[in-house]
Amino acid sequence: MASPTTDYSTEKRLARLAGVTLAWWAHGAIRLVLALVLLYYGAAKLVFGQFGFSDAGDALIMHGEMSPMGLLWRMVAFSPLFQFLAGLAEFGAGLALLWRRTVPLGALIGAASMGLVLVLNLGYDVMVKTPSAVYVLLSLLVLIPWMPRLWRAVLGRGEIGPGPSPRLIPWRPAERVGAIAGPVAALVLAGLVAWGVSTMYPPRSVDDSVPAGVWTVAEDTAEPAAQLSQDTRWSALALGGTRYGDAAAAQLRLADGTLLTGTWTRRDGGTIALELRGLRQQGQTVQEYAGTEPETLVLEVAEQADGTLHVTGDGQDLVLAPDESGQMLHERGFSWSVRPDDPFNR
């Protein structure tokens, strides 16, 4: 007499369903983390907070005085268009990752964006090399379920079947609710991230009126030192017009070559106040540099009929003249048409 056989097909089907569901939950956790990262960095660029804007207040530092990271920051800060498009790609990828129908698109854009960030971090010695590499890896992990379909679409032949659909809850009524609630929750989350990031940065305004600009010392009542290396008279002054809160960027070049950098603020009655420090040195932490006492200068500035500035106060009595060459980078502007001096590459 033959022994009856036990049918385990139902148990196997349930075990497989549980395994697939757990895999999608792990996949969902990864793409949520990646989405939050991309939304955060994208929003920081869209509000021009991560890099800020480059203006005349940063005009006196020489190419060789910059660190590689400082060079990258100034390059990106100079181009609001580059910042905005980079932020749009990252924020859009993060938003796409939150809706199951656009997950592969978000993962592809995220991998490309984070790949570019990784290359920039490697090439310009930015300290977050490992995190950017992890974000590239996370983007590729999120993309794994769609990789066979993408491979077939790019290199294969024949019909391309439907792609996988993330199913966190394999129950049709819950999926119907999720189809509506998911996109709404994604938009709310993206809005909260964008709002939170925008509140991290001080209010920004622009005031390019005098004395903002790049100035060189035309007259100075102070006597020069016996040796140029000991001459602490002013050589040039750069005052930015983009204010964060009440302060804008400022740089002061001394005759001995020393560069002081910091901020300046406008006060009543033609008075300005500068807070300046020397350049940060290699091996000096951010906390140590921020803890150094700035040199504070309170000056009276009077614009003269010929366009020069008479500056007095804190031991200074000098005349500043506009430095046309020093303002070239920030005044050249953009033009679709070819100008008579193009290509102007100097």
Question: Residue 240's domain is classified under what CATH number?
Answer: 2.40.128
Do 23 and 135 fall into the same domain? yes
Do 157 and 245 fall into the same domain? no
Number of structural domains the chain divides into? 2
Do 278 and 323 fall into the same domain? yes
Do 278 and 182 fall into the same domain? no
Do 228 and 291 fall into the same domain? yes
Neighbours of 186 (CB within 10 A): 20
Do 63 and 139 fall into the same domain? yes
In the chain, % helix, strand, coil (3-state, to 5) comes to: 50, 20, 30
What's the CA gap between 196 and 189, in Å, rounded?
A: 10
What's the CA gap between 52 and 75, in Å, rounded?
A: 11
Do 249 and 182 fall into the same domain? no
pLDDT 10s digit of each residue in the chain, 346 long? 445 566 567 777 777 777 777 888 888 999 999 999 999 999 999 999 999 999 999 999 999 999 999 999 999 999 999 999 999 999 999 999 998 889 999 999 999 999 999 999 999 999 999 999 999 999 999 999 988 888 888 887 777 777 777 777 777 777 777 777 778 888 999 999 999 999 999 999 999 999 999 999 999 999 999 999 999 999 999 999 999 999 999 999 999 999 999 999 999 999 999 999 999 999 999 999 999 999 999 999 999 999 999 999 999 999 999 999 999 999 988 888 999 999 999 8
Structural domain includes residue 141: yes
Neighbours of 292 (CB within 10 A): 11
Do 50 and 190 fall into the same domain? yes
Do 169 and 23 fall into the same domain? yes
Do 234 and 254 fall into the same domain? yes
Do 84 and 133 fall into the same domain? yes
Structural domain includes residue 343: no
Range of the domain at 88: 9-198
Structural domain includes residue 238: yes
Final residue in a domain of this structure, among 163, 198, 233: 198
Residues 40, 41, 47, 52: what is their CA dihedral angle, to the nearest 10 degrees? 140
Distances from the Cα of 63 to the Cαs of 38, 42, 88, 316, in angstroms?
A: 31, 29, 30, 28
> For residue 206, what are the contacts with CB-CB under 8 A and spacing of at least 6?
241, 242, 243
Distances from the Cα of 89 to the Cαs of 83, 93, 189, in angstroms?
A: 10, 6, 17
What's the CA gap between 242 and 69, in Å, rounded?
A: 21
Tokens of 92: 């859009």
Final residue in a domain of this structure, among 136, 168, 198: 198
Final residue in a domain of this structure, among 165, 198, 231: 198
Do 152 and 231 fall into the same domain? no
Structural domain includes residue 74: yes
